[in-house]
Structure 1
């Protein structure tokens, strides 16, 4: 476990400074790591075929379901408790080992069934090799939870950067060597293995696992509730691949899954990193009446100030972006990306709520909201699949506003946050981003014939300049609040 000296230093540091440093390290390392990974990813996209990504997407359904059962929710309970001793931490570590080694065995045995469901025999060998990921998972989750408890994301950031470099080097080397779809199997193994090793070396943690759970009822009860929410979230977000995998060919599924990957970069890569910092930060504020709600409003405003123009720009520049970065073979993903980009603002705000409500000891709120999604989204996908990949994208756009309304209705009373206060943080950036998106779309129509790269460069420059001006005109208070938070003068969260 982290040393007593480290705990004393953390306790002596003001909360706002600790959170600011955590955000800078977590988001900064995430950005740097993703830049490294993207340079590799987009190179590999040009070397592999859409069908390879379709096969990989099918394996991710199985791995994603197993990941929900890996015990992360029980480790998260360690972040929230006021006092933590090595015995209780050892009990959680024991649970992590039992769960993940069991998952590895289950995936080995279930691989033929998954291959039969998707009508893809190659999945058997892929899933069996990928079961190694589960064996590494306890040695990643445990140190991450202990470091998050101390709001120490510097150590995590350093480990993640080295792991990202390992994955980024492995992927193109394998692709150039002609490994094909196995490139997509090898890179995550290199990333996970390196992350586990670096967290062990840099985190300097060691806890003896304990397999008797007597006295850990509160941790397991909290973790179990979060686990239910996570399972429902999986159903909500993986139902599209489960449904489309039986109706589309591998190439069509690859275009859809990579279009979804592109539009969900912020949602899947950056927002979760901020949520990791937000959860322990909100937990420290839970005793202060109204502090979590106000901090949530400010944080949501700052995140949407950055996210909304990205989504609007993505919708407006989908064609030159995909042709320039991914290549002509991915042209079928263009209409998919345009539709999905319009749904992502709703997804982003929707996933900001759980860290705040969970920190207040109300994990049932997130579970109820995701239960609604686990019903509505699969139903929408069953309709959308009849209209091909674009129909699946339209299902996201039709359903996510409804889910956001449900999660907002459930969460705001718990946060003691008036809707008008949240609206004051969200609506001005939304207006600025919408106007910017319309301006870029109009410019795209008026530009003469150009290659994808020059066209993309001109449109991005126009979008950056126009959004900067519009945000200063219509969202100035939100901009000032965001800058104050970055400088460490805003709310702690």
Structure 2
């Protein structure tokens, strides 16, 4: 019987059948985002019809304060664990202790600052919302290591289970509380329930428990990558845009802004959220083989654009009917912000895949400075344009995304050794199919203008989906055949592996 020493390697990257693992992982990751988003969307619709923009604004402002405080922690050291070639017990224990210490300090700071913040904003509810939602810091920080272990092993089915458990728990609690009349408190309590359930499921899925194998050298091994990764995560989660809008405008204005942004986030998570974790792990494991990196990246980019383009372009086309009909007439002012976010969505999903490529190649510092520049420009835009309202702010953010898009395209083209023109051609056919889809939707809208809203929306969406499906089949048939071939190979390998296991079991 061998004894596991502290200097033994615990987890190495997956080296065999990585394409099959990636395809299977993409399926489970899609499932772990699709099912929760369905539940989240259902809760979003119910709460949007029951609660007012100010309620959403107060919760969003409190969540932004907690997120800003939590973003100072070592939240992205899990990415460093994933990216590193070899991981030892001391790496895991050291990062876990570091995360736990940060969680205590940050929650304490939130509790001390809650009363002054509530007085400054002029809404007493903020104080107690911070007390409740601040608990999220504990659960988020303690799951950094187990989440990294699960992703590193490419055990994406466990990620799916964890996410589904957390979402169902949160959705059930939120619906019961909001229908019982708890108002905005239902949103706050449900978020804590979700993070607590996710934390428990993460430890169960990782099969790991923290110990006391602490080493400064292990921290140093992860420090450079983890520092810039945490800096990038800080820029992504600090939510200063919500803070500025909530303080300089009003909770109602923040409610409108948060509504459009949250709708965008839910859609984007379904399309690219699960793909991000798969591509980051896969591209990290393939970094020594540039040809395979390029093939995997282009396939992921194609798959993402194949789905994101029709969804976001289609939503922009029907937003004026869809928003007030589904969510209620009090959200009518969010129609144009939603449309601007749809334009952002055309690049956001692909941007996730680009980020996975750049970070997997060890350039986390470059990605950090890029995100820093973008965030500074966003905050300046909000600070300057807030007197003109939420719609103008979101329009400015959209323009900024369009202006920064060529920079990442240039960076990606260098990594995959492909010209920018050849890289951008990946998006031509999905764009053409989406244009045809919109033409069908707009023609039907004019033809059925005298119909009631619900049946007209249903016909437009169904006809648009059929049109896009037919056009994409015609325009992208060779690429679709290649993708289906990879999926079939993955299934065949899985079946062969299962048959081999059964044979061995039968012989024994």
Using the TM superposition, give the Cα deviation of residue 282 of structure 1 relative to its aligned residue in structure 2, in angstroms.
0.6
Partner of 1:351: 352
Cα contact 2:302–2:426 (8 A) shared by 1: yes
Structure 1's 203 and 215: CA in aligned 2 closer, same or farther, altered over 3 A?
Answer: closer
Structure-1 separation of matches of 2:117 and 2:319: 33
Cα contact 1:163–1:191 (8 A) shared by 2: yes
* CA offset digits 1:449-476 (Å, max 9, x no partner): 3333212211101210111122223333
> Is residue 170 of structure 1 aligned with residue 173 of structure 2?
yes
Structure-2 separation of matches of 1:310 and 1:95: 41
Partner of 2:277: 276
Matches within 5 A, 1:380-395: 380-395=381-396
Partner of 1:456: 457
Using the TM superposition, give the Cα deviation of residue 170 of structure 1 relative to its aligned residue in structure 2, in angstroms.
0.4
Partner of 1:467: 468
Structure 1's 209 and 66: CA in aligned 2 closer, same or farther, altered over 3 A?
Answer: farther
Structure-2 separation of matches of 1:157 and 1:243: 35
> Is residue 161 of structure 1 aligned with residue 161 of structure 2?
no
Structure-2 separation of matches of 1:187 and 1:346: 31
Matches within 5 A, 1:71-220: 71-209=74-212, 212-220=215-223
**Over alpha carbons, which structure has the higher Rg?**
2
Structure 1's 249 and 325: CA in aligned 2 closer, same or farther, altered over 3 A?
Answer: same
Structure-2 separation of matches of 1:229 and 1:177: 40
Using the TM superposition, give the Cα deviation of residue 357 of structure 1 relative to its aligned residue in structure 2, in angstroms.
1.3
**CA root-mean-square deviation:** 2.5
* CA offset digits 1:350-381 (Å, max 9, x no partner): 23222111111111221132122123222333
* CA offset digits 1:181-235 (Å, max 9, x no partner): 1111011111111111222334322121555534421201210011222223346
Using the TM superposition, give the Cα deviation of residue 306 of structure 1 relative to its aligned residue in structure 2, in angstroms.
0.3
Structure-1 separation of matches of 2:233 and 2:13: 30
Structure 1's 444 and 118: CA in aligned 2 closer, same or farther, altered over 3 A?
Answer: farther
| Residue among 216, 223, 227 paired with 2:226 | 223
Using the TM superposition, give the Cα deviation of residue 62 of structure 1 relative to its aligned residue in structure 2, in angstroms.
1.5
> Is residue 403 of structure 1 aligned with residue 404 of structure 2?
yes
Structure-2 separation of matches of 1:129 and 1:116: 18
> Is residue 317 of structure 1 aligned with residue 318 of structure 2?
yes
Using the TM superposition, give the Cα deviation of residue 11 of structure 1 relative to its aligned residue in structure 2, in angstroms.
5.2
Structure 1's 213 and 420: CA in aligned 2 closer, same or farther, altered over 3 A?
Answer: same
Partner of 1:65: 68
Partner of 1:374: 375
Cα contact 1:95–1:211 (8 A) shared by 2: no
Cα contact 2:11–2:153 (8 A) shared by 1: no
| Residue among 29, 47, 51 paired with 1:48 | 51
Structure-2 separation of matches of 1:89 and 1:379: 39
Partner of 1:440: 441
Cα contact 1:323–1:452 (8 A) shared by 2: no
SS in 2 for 1:69: coil
Matches within 5 A, 1:416-427: 416-427=417-428
Structure 2 gap ranges (5+): 492-508
Structure 1's 395 and 487: CA in aligned 2 closer, same or farther, altered over 3 A?
Answer: farther
| Residue among 20, 25, 29 paired with 1:22 | 25
Structure-2 separation of matches of 1:488 and 1:451: 47
Cα contact 1:90–1:209 (8 A) shared by 2: yes
* CA offset digits 1:152-180 (Å, max 9, x no partner): 11112112211111011001111011111
Structure-2 separation of matches of 1:341 and 1:399: 14
Partner of 2:506: none
Using the TM superposition, give the Cα deviation of residue 481 of structure 1 relative to its aligned residue in structure 2, in angstroms.
4.1
Using the TM superposition, give the Cα deviation of residue 55 of structure 1 relative to its aligned residue in structure 2, in angstroms.
0.7
Cα contact 2:89–2:213 (8 A) shared by 1: no
Cα contact 2:30–2:270 (8 A) shared by 1: no
Structure-2 separation of matches of 1:408 and 1:116: 45
Using the TM superposition, give the Cα deviation of residue 383 of structure 1 relative to its aligned residue in structure 2, in angstroms.
4.2
Structure-1 separation of matches of 2:88 and 2:214: 15
My pick for the range that moved more, 460-469 or 58-67, is: 58-67
Structure-2 separation of matches of 1:210 and 1:110: 35
Cα contact 1:311–1:341 (8 A) shared by 2: yes
Cα contact 1:46–1:327 (8 A) shared by 2: yes
Cα contact 2:441–2:464 (8 A) shared by 1: yes
Structure 1's 19 and 8: CA in aligned 2 closer, same or farther, altered over 3 A?
Answer: same
> Is residue 329 of structure 1 aligned with residue 330 of structure 2?
yes
SS in 1 for 2:175: helix
Q: TM-score, normalised by structure 1?
A: 0.91
Partner of 1:34: 37
SS in 2 for 1:84: strand
Cα contact 2:68–2:240 (8 A) shared by 1: no
Cα contact 1:384–1:394 (8 A) shared by 2: no
Q: TM-score, normalised by structure 2?
A: 0.89
Using the TM superposition, give the Cα deviation of residue 264 of structure 1 relative to its aligned residue in structure 2, in angstroms.
2.7
Structure 1's 450 and 23: CA in aligned 2 closer, same or farther, altered over 3 A?
Answer: same
Structure 1 gap ranges (5+): none
My pick for the range that moved more, 297-306 or 62-71, is: 62-71
